[in-house]
A and B are shown apart, each in its own frame.
Chain A
Amino acid sequence: MLKIGIVEYPPHLTVINKEVKGPSLAYIKQMFSNHYSKVEFIYLPTKRAVIELNKGRIDLLFPLPKTKEVSNYLTPPLFHSVPGLCFKKENFIPLLSAIERFNELSVAIPAGTKIPSSLLESTATIKIIEGKDIINRGISLLLRNRFTALYHPSPIQIYHYNNPLSKEIACSYFHGYSEGVYVGVSPFIKIKNRKKIDKIYADFMHNQRYDYYFAQYNILSDE
C-alpha cells in the first residue's frame, strides 16, 4: 500500500467544493496504480502535509516546491513553476525583461519569497507584505490599486482561464527563473520501497513527461 499526501496547487491540483482533482493527481494515480495493491490519496493543508510526511504517516507528498523542511524528493521535478508579476489589466507589462518599464512600478512582494535578480536590480519600488494569507490579501490590495504589481512565485495558480480572477488581472513571467516542483518522499520509507518508487517514477516520466501530459489534459478538457 502507498499513502500519498496531496496539497492544493492550481491548476495542477485543485479543490473545489471539497472535490480534489487536476492533471497532476490523474498523472500520479496512473503512475502508481498498477504497481501497488492500494494507493490512497490524502488531501492536506501544506504545513500539516509536510509534518505528516516527516513523521512517516504518508509516503509521498506532491506538488511540492523544494523546502528545507523536506529532505528527500523524486527526481527530476514533476514540473517547473515560473515566478512573475500580476497586474490589473490596464497596467499589464507583457515582457518582464523590459525593465525600463519598471520605473514607475510599485511591486508588492510576499515576505520570505525569493525575488528574481532582474526585479531587484530594477528601479521598481518594492513593498514587502507580511501576515497570513499573503497572496489573497495581495490580490485584494492590487485590485484596490494599493500598488501596481504583485509578485507571485507561480502566477499560473491565479492567472488561469478557469479562474474568474483572470477577467480582472493578467500576469507575465520571469522566464529564466523557474524552479522545480517535486514529489516529496518520507524519510521513513524503506530502502526497497524507495527503489521501487524511483524506478516506477523514472520509467513513467520517461514514457510521458508530466508537462506534455498537462498540456494534453488541458486540450482534452477544453474540447
Chain B
Amino acid sequence: MAKLFKHLMLISMMTISLSHAENRPTPSQEIVDISKIYYASMTYIFSNQKLINATHFEKEELFGDKFINNLKVEYSKKYNTDIFPDKNSRLVKALLEAMVEVMDDNKTLLLDEDITFKGFIPAVFAFQISEKYAKKGLGVRLKFTNERQRIRNKFNSPDSWETNAIKLIKEFKLKEYYVDNGKYKDVRAQRLMIPVNMSQMCLTCHGTPKDNPINFNKPIKDWTSIDKTGFTMENWLLSDFGGAISVTLFKLEELGESY
C-alpha cells in the first residue's frame, strides 16, 4: 500500500512538474541575459579571490574594460558560447556599467597592501551591483537571494514572490521560474528566478567547520565555526540549495518611484 502511494505521489509530482514546464511563459532574451551576466560575474569574483585578496597593486584586470573582458571570458566558459549578450541593450549596458562602478568603488580596498582578506566575496559584490543597478532608474531589480532563514544580510531577504519561486524551484527541480504577469510592490512585473549551484567555494563560509580554511592544518579541538567573514557557519552541504538570482522588470512610472 505504501509502495502504491509512493508511486501515485511520484506520478502526480511529475505531472505537476510537466505542466509547469509546458504552461509557463518564456522569458524575454533581455531578462535571461541579465540573470546570466550577473551569475557569470559572481563566478568571476568567486574564482579570482586570490587576486582580490593579494596585497600587490597589479590588479588592472579587476577594473574598467579589462574587468568586462574577463567577465566575457567567464560568461563564455560558463555558458559554453562565444556570443555575449548585446552590449547596446539598455539593461545590459547599464549592468556592465554598474559592475565597472562597483569595482571602482572598491578600488582602495582591493589595492590595500595590508588587508589580506578584503571581504570582497561574490555575495558582497552581488549586493553592491543590486544596489547600483536599482538606482539607475531603469525599472529593474536584481538580487541574489535565498530562503529567509538562510539569509545573512537582511537586505537580501526574498519577497513573497521570491519565497514562492524558491519553493517551486526546489520542489520541482526547475532550471528557472518565470512569470510575465507577476507583481513587484503591487505593480505589474516580469519576474525571473534561476537557482545558483552550491559549490565547494560556498562551503568555505557556509559549510561545516571542516570546510573552513581557518581550520586547515589545525587539530579538531581548535576548530572554529566562525567563518572568515565573521558569521557562524551554517553546516550546509554540496547537495543543499545554493540560493537564487532574482530579476524583476517593471515600469518605473507605474511604481511612481523616484530614484
Q: Which residues of A line the B interface, CB within 8 A?
A: 75-76, 80, 89, 92-95, 97-98, 100-101, 118, 156, 159-161, 166-167, 170, 172, 175-176, 178, 209, 211-212, 214-216, 218-219
Contact = CB atoms under 8 A, between A and B. Distances in A.
A178 B229 CA distance: 22
B137 A218 contact: no
A100 B232 CA distance: 9
A183 to B, nearest CB: 15
Candidate in A100, A170, A219 with the most chain B CB atoms within 10 angstroms: A219
Interface in B143-157: 152-155
B97 A209 contact: yes
B101 A98 contact: no
Contacts of B103: 215
A33 to B, nearest CB: 24
B231 A98 contact: yes
A170 B101 contact: no
Nearest to A80: B135
Given A170-B112, A175-B128, A216 B64 contact: yes
Contacts, number: 88
Interface size class of B (residues with CB under 8 A): 35 or more
A209 B136 contact: yes
A216 to B, nearest CB: 7
B119 A94 contact: yes
Contacts of B119: 94-95, 172
Nearest to B229: A95
B258 interface: yes
B230 A95 contact: yes
B172 interface: no
A170 B229 contact: no
A95 B124 contact: yes
B112 A218 contact: no
Interface string B96-126: 0110110111011101101101111000100
A100 B231 contact: yes
